[in-house]
Amino acid sequence: MPFSVVLFDLDGTVINTNDLIVASFQHVLKEKLGLDVPASTIYRHFGEPLPRTMGRYAPGREVELSDFYRTFNLANHDQLVKQFEGMRETLDALREAGIKLGIVTSKRVDVALLGLKVCGFEGYFDTLVGMDETEKHKPEPEPIQLALERLGEQPGGHVLMVGDSTFDVLCGHNAGVTTAAVGWSVIEREVLAGARPDHWVEHPAELLGLVLGAR
């Protein structure tokens, strides 16, 4: 089935923010709650809106902890954010092929744009939907629905949602689009497999083959 629209999660999918996110969580959980939380535990929160995750550790303190997280995150952002190998070439080829591209992220729009800028991906995407633009968030379908509305598209098999977390895959399923999980995710494969992605891509180049090979 041909794909004419590809929607991406941002963190851990398009840009490598894994070290930054882990460091930010560990900082706030240690300083504010006295908790030493391993990276393997934090990985399971990837893709989830920040206030929801903070509420798991300290209900009622979501705003305080999220603000503390963001202060540390922004102070260390540019030093820790990196590109994934092969992502630029893949995005270039998709754009040249006329594929509509979008970002659907659980991050706020301003911080998402900062990450794209640091990695040199400004202007690559036709739309970007952040968590501050919808009432409901992943795994609910609303973020993808808004992205498609902005692109002038309807849900269907021609739309591919690509992500590194169960929240991304479930959001795609709930929105009625095709899904792909990325093999460069730090989340355990069996956890991702539980969301039943339609496709797996082990490297950005494989994503290119999946999308363009179906045309």
**Active-site option among 9, 11, 164, 168:** 9
CA angle 142, 144, 149 (to 5 degrees): 90
Amino acid at 141: P
Tokens of 181: 């999980």
**CA–CA gap between residue 42 and residue 180 (Å, rounded):** 22
**Torsion angle, CA of 46/52/55/57, rounded to 10 degrees?**
-10
199 Cβ contact list (under 8 Å, min separation 6): 160, 178, 179, 180, 181, 210
Closest among 136, 146, 58 to 103, alpha carbons compared: 146
Task: Examine the residue annotation and report whether 9 is marked as an active-site residue of this protein.
Answer: yes
Length of the chain: 215
**CA–CA gap between residue 185 and residue 175 (Å, rounded):** 22
User: Tokens 């989340």 correspond to what residue?
Assistant: 187
Q: Catalytic positions, please?
A: 9
